[in-house]
Structure 1
Amino acid sequence: MLVIHLSGLLLILPACIQAARILAVFPFPGPSQYINVVPYLKTLASRGHQVTSINAFPQKKPLENFRDIPIPEVFDNYNEIINELNDPMNIWQENNFINKFFVDITRSVLTNKEVTETLLPPGKDQYDLIIVEALRSDAYYGFAAHFNAPIIGISTFGTDWNIDELVGNVSPLSYTPLVTAGFTDRMTFGERVSNFVDTTVAWLNYRLVHMPEQERLYEKYFPIASKRVRLTDLNRNFSLVLLNQHFSLSFPRAYVPNMIQVGGLHISHKPAALPKDLEEFIQGSGEEGVIYFSLGSNVKSKDLPAERRQLMLKTFASLPQRVLWKFEDDQLPGKPANVFISKWFPQPDILAHPKVKLFITHGGLLSTIESIHHGKPVLGLPFFYDQFLNVKRAKQAGFGLGLDHKTMTQQEFKGTIERLVKEPQFAETARQMSDRYRDQPMTPLDTAIWWTEYVLRHKGAYHMRVAGQDLGFFAYHSLDVLGALLGGALLILTISLVILWKIAGFGNSKKKQKKQ
């Protein structure tokens, strides 16, 4: 063990381990998910590990110890799928939609030419560790069985009942809301009822619709491994799950030892200098400062209804602040002089700038974490999935407000912006949350690397697994025990009633005999 004292801090570095061959599977077509994990994968490569990454966003320049397997197939019909999310659906239809989306992604991975030629043939290659995005893509967990290697999951949105099951974690429905429900940990009775029903529907849909399809894919593309290990056993055999979450960002809850919070592992602690034109625009804002507006990577501002864009343009034109707007076209008709548009912005570096006063966001988790890290208040305009939950948490914590982008008026939009900029409690709360979040013994990235190499050092670290990973649903929730106790109680009650009936019947027969 090597101990180094640096500026009063005690850094403990584990002994070097042998370089490992690592297969990472992150094929999601939304760039934000890969943005979250790519610094982690690059750091593993920089430490000598040989990383092969299956993804939709290959590196533009070759990187030492890093090999890309691009999966362009995942982009087929992706924009149409995103637009479908705005269609009204009940909870069962919503789960069917999500399941189909992830089944298509899983199939794209397992039918990719480079995957089928270099990874799937038996004996073709070997890996020491599998790292996957643990999000409803159970069939490609089969790489762990295929290579007989331990598996680490990364959840880029935190955790839910489905992620918890990978490591036997507890998810009390009384204070753990379904990610898509938009509730916080402080639920009313009605919200708890809704959360219970929606989670039950999601669980049933997962078991009855999603898993049979994933099992068919697993058996088809991993025929040898599937004969050794059932998929239902494989997806309960994770060595570690890394969560893009932290209690200071959301709410405290229980985690088993092999569930580690690394929220914000993609954020550099040394912001880079901004491009010259961008820096000059920001500096020219004077004391009023700048508002940064981005709807993330999946929702495009250029695709907003024309009436919504005009509402925003008129609002921005009436503000004393300057506005940076992530807009995906070269031109924005009617753009006022105080608005700067670009198809891409270095978001963390912008949020680190002292002149940025407010972040108008879709409420994605990465954006929410970045806003907290840099202590900026937010105005949330959520569109789908966990964005409603993230915006509600911002309101509950006191560092943000939210609006419905479909129904908000210009007066509501402007009034909410002015309130967030002028009322000091929002910025002060954001700074306090930033202080709490940053107060960690190790950076999230260092934590992720340390635990990953811990798994490698200890050959899968199976000593961290709770017994719950090996229990079925009924045993885990003690439903078998409750059933046995209830059955026993009913049996005793039945026998007691029969005995009482017999006694009562026997007494009546004696009385009849005396009368005769």
Structure 2
Amino acid sequence: MPLDVLWEHGHLPHKIPPDAFRTMIALCDTLLGDSALLTRLKRQNIRLVVIDLFTNECGLAFAYQLGIPVVGYWALPLNGGEADYAAGMALTSFSPIIPSFMSGLTDDMNFYQRMMNALYKLLGTIVMRLQMFITDNLIQKHFPGTPHPTLLLSNLSGVLANVDHSLDYPRPLPPNVIPVGCMQCRPARRLPEIMERFVRGSGEAGVILFSLGATFDPSWVPKEILERFLKTFSRLEQRVIVKYHGEINMEVPGNVMIVPWLPQQDILGHPQTRVFFSHCGKQSAMEAVYHEVPIVAMPVFGDQIDVAGMLRAKGMGVIVDKQAPEEEIIHALNEVIYNYR
């Protein structure tokens, strides 16, 4: 999938190119046709399979051939995709209370929003039915008689869901779905010396952590986006740590430190960190909640708009658009720094 499409149209399901399905088909056919791997695995003393469920029906079918219990792992919010079938959420009756995948809605919807949520649910169901049809044909080609992907999903021994009640909406969950969100969360450690001096030098104003994850790639993010951020940050009294691994061909303000990598949890857990400017990936959002740091969310693609909506609904952050002007970004940062408790 062209990466610039993710930046420009990451929240529009109809902009997903057909290449995504072609890639899935190629990977699926390659995996199911690897008889040597299946033979090798059968010879091992494997007692349990843990498998990522996202667009991985063929992986489930492959694991089914081993004849041992299979546990699924779901990394996204429980609001669409394979999780609907694995966690018993496929019923359309959930549409009025559970926001659909990539809708950006919350559980507090008016009538119009409920209608839009139902349309998102319908679109997601159509995509999943098409995906199941394609993968089931490939599965039957290699392993005739294997149960349909919907049955493989609904008959999992368990589902490890990357969710936590602090960052989710009230919902019914079957007993085989185990929330394991924030598994990676831990207390902060001391920062590297150079970074520690930079943070402590911020004084009472504190530090802003800016990281848009892998989505902030210099090869496909317009140069003017970084220029706009740096110009905006130069107007702040806070110091800003920016995660960016590209070449910098512009003047960097004195209150900004740009690094290709950073110890995110150690910065979030530092007492002088005031706000996290984030793309709202699920892991990053949960780490911010764990370390009690409010978020200014700039979602880029996929489930990030849904995670950002959860944060805003729970009073943990605000949302700004990727094309937001300087004044709007500064207003959002000040709102979170000075008015959130």
Q: Secondary structure at the match of 2:318?
A: strand
How much has 1:127 moved relative to structure 2?
2.0
Q: Is the 8 A contact 2:242 2:258 kept in 1?
A: yes
The Cα of 1:105 is off from its aligned counterpart by 4.8
Letter in 1 for 2:224: E
Q: 1:195 Cα shift? A: 1.3
Residue 298 of structure 1, CA deviation: 3.4
1:184/1:301 Cα in 2 relative to 1: closer, same or farther (>3 Å)?
Answer: farther
**Counterpart among 273, 278, 287 of residue 370 in structure 1:** 287
Larger Rg: 1
2:236 is matched by which residue type in structure 1? L
Displacement of 1:160: 2.3
SS in 1 for 2:213: coil
2:127 to 183, 205, 208: 205
Q: Which residue in the other structure is 1:20 paired with?
A: none
TM-score by length of 1: 0.61
Query: Shift of the alpha carbon at 1:301?
Result: 5.5
Q: Following TM superposition, by how much is the alpha carbon of 1:130 offset from its aligned partner in structure 2, in angstroms?
A: 1.0
Match of 2:302 in 1: 385
State how far apart, in whole Å, the 2-side matches of 1:200 and 1:327 are.
Answer: 38
Deviation of 1:102 (Å): 4.1
Unaligned runs of 5+ in 2: none
- The structure-2 alpha-carbon separation of the partners of 1:110 and 1:160, relative to structure 1 and needing over 3 Å to count, comes to same
Higher relative contact order at CA 8 Å, sep ≥6: structure 1 or structure 2?
2
For residue 328 of structure 2, what is the aligned residue in structure 1? 412
Q: CA deviation at 1:234?
A: 2.0
Provide the rounded CA distance (Å) in 2 between the counterparts of 1:105 and 1:298. 23
Q: How does 1:98-247 map to 2 (within 5 A)?
A: 99-100=21-22, 102-107=24-29, 109-110=31-32, 117-120=36-39, 123-161=42-80, 162-169=82-89, 172-207=94-129, 209-221=130-142, 223=143, 226-247=144-165
- SS of corresponding position for 2:190: coil
Provide the C-alpha distance between the structure 1 equivalents of 2:268 and 2:98, rounded to a whole number of angstroms. 30
Alignment CA distance shift 1:343-1:106 (3 Å): farther
Residue 319 of structure 1 is matched in structure 2 by 236
Q: Quote the offset at 1:385 in angstroms.
A: 1.2
Q: Indicate how the Cα distance of structure 1 residues 321 and 210 shifts in structure 2: closer, same or farther if over 3 A, else same.
A: same
Residues 430-454 of structure 1 deviation map (CA, whole Å, 9 limit, x = unaligned): xxxxxxxxxxxxxxxxxxxxxxxxx
In 1, are the aligned partners of 2:51 and 2:71 still within 8 Å (CA)? yes
Equivalent residues of 1:92, 1:201 under 8 A apart: no
More helix by share: 1
Partner of 1:394: 311
Determine if the alignment matches structure 1 residue 341 to structure 2 residue 262: no
Q: Measure the CA separation in 2 of the matches of 1:228 and 1:419.
A: 55
CA distance in 2, matches of 1:181, 1:101: 25
The one of 252, 259, 263 aligned to 2:177: 259
What percentage of aligned pairs have identical amino acids?
Answer: 27
CA 1:333–1:120: 2 relative to 1, 3 Å: farther
CA deviation after TM superposition for structure 1 residue 236, in Å: 2.2
Which of 211, 214, 229 does residue 294 from structure 1 map onto?
A: 211
- State the Cα RMSD in Å: 2.5
The two structures have a TM-score, normalised by structure 2, of 0.89
Which secondary structure state, in structure 2, belongs to the residue aligned with residue 273 of structure 1? coil
- Take 2:98 and 2:17, find their aligned partners in 1: how far apart are those partners? 19
